[in-house]
Amino acid sequence: MVLQVKGITKRFKTQIAVKDLSFSLAEGEILALIGKSGAGKTTALRCICGLERVDEGTIVVDGLPLCTEGIYVDQKEVRKVRQKVGMVFQNFNLFPHLSVLENIMESPVRVYGMGKGEAKAKAMDFLQKLDLAEKADAYPHELSGGQKQRVAIARACVLEPKVICFDEPTSALDPQLSEEIAYVIKDLAKERNLSVLIITHDMNFAKRTADRVIFMENGEAVEEGRTETLFEDISNERIQKFMSN
């Protein structure tokens, strides 16, 4: 398994945001965490990316532990693990003063010490793959929402992570662009054997994209299964109620 999450719990003062969450993610698999706002999905994602620290539990990425039973590895090792996890934020988080190419090169060069020539070559490779090569010198304000999302995907992929995480990837997109991003994600997972973790409340997007789904409620995983099985189970009142809402 590329990603193993075992019994993670995250508290904010007296509030438990994530409670005893466990799951694994295979190479090339797409997993969606779904549930209402406040269910703990994004907090779980941020813990896996190393943006938040768990209070309990174990996270292992590509055989490297980020934390074991709530105890974190040293900062040098944390950096190694984080390099294996790419993150695409809900609002893209592109630097407005940098061009598309510079946005993609920023982290590899400044944070991870990659040579500019190598970073540029990898960035252009992903821009070509995502049909954005002609936008390399453009700035974020000159792009459509779908183009910004694809730039954010290229930026997350340029370090060649083993896992890429998406936080509500369709929240700022219309249905047609959502379908386009679903295709891009599935294509990346298949072509590069990339494991994908998606946080979404968009059921149509989850159905089109994910191989497997975990439904979260009050910080806990309460339902889990293959996408087609879970969504088509009309006897599952919890899922059917969520979908109807």
Domain ranges of the chain: 96-160
SS3 of 161, please? coil
Give the chain's radius of gyration (CA, Å). 18
User: Cα–Cα distances in Å, from 72 out to 46, 77, 178?
Assistant: 15, 9, 36
Tell which phi-psi region holds residue 214, choosing left (phi > 0), alpha (psi between -120 and 50) or beta.
Answer: beta
| Mean pLDDT, range 231-242, rounded to an integer | 70
Q: What is the pLDDT of residues 128-164, one digit of tens each?
A: 988 899 999 999 999 988 899 889 999 998 888 999 9
Query: If you average pLDDT over residues 15-19, what whole number do you get?
Result: 95
- Residue 228 pLDDT class (50, 70, 90 cuts): confident
Residue of higher predicted confidence among 172 and 120? 120
**Please, what sign has the CA dihedral across residues 223, 228, 233, 237?**
positive
Integer CA distances (angstroms), 22 to 68, 140, 219, in order: 13, 37, 11
Question: Which backbone phi and psi does 226 adopt, to 5 degrees?
Answer: -60, 145
Lowest-pLDDT range, 206-215, 224-233, 236-245?
236-245
What's the pLDDT at 236? Answer: 67
Nearest to 50 by CA among 73, 75, 78: 78
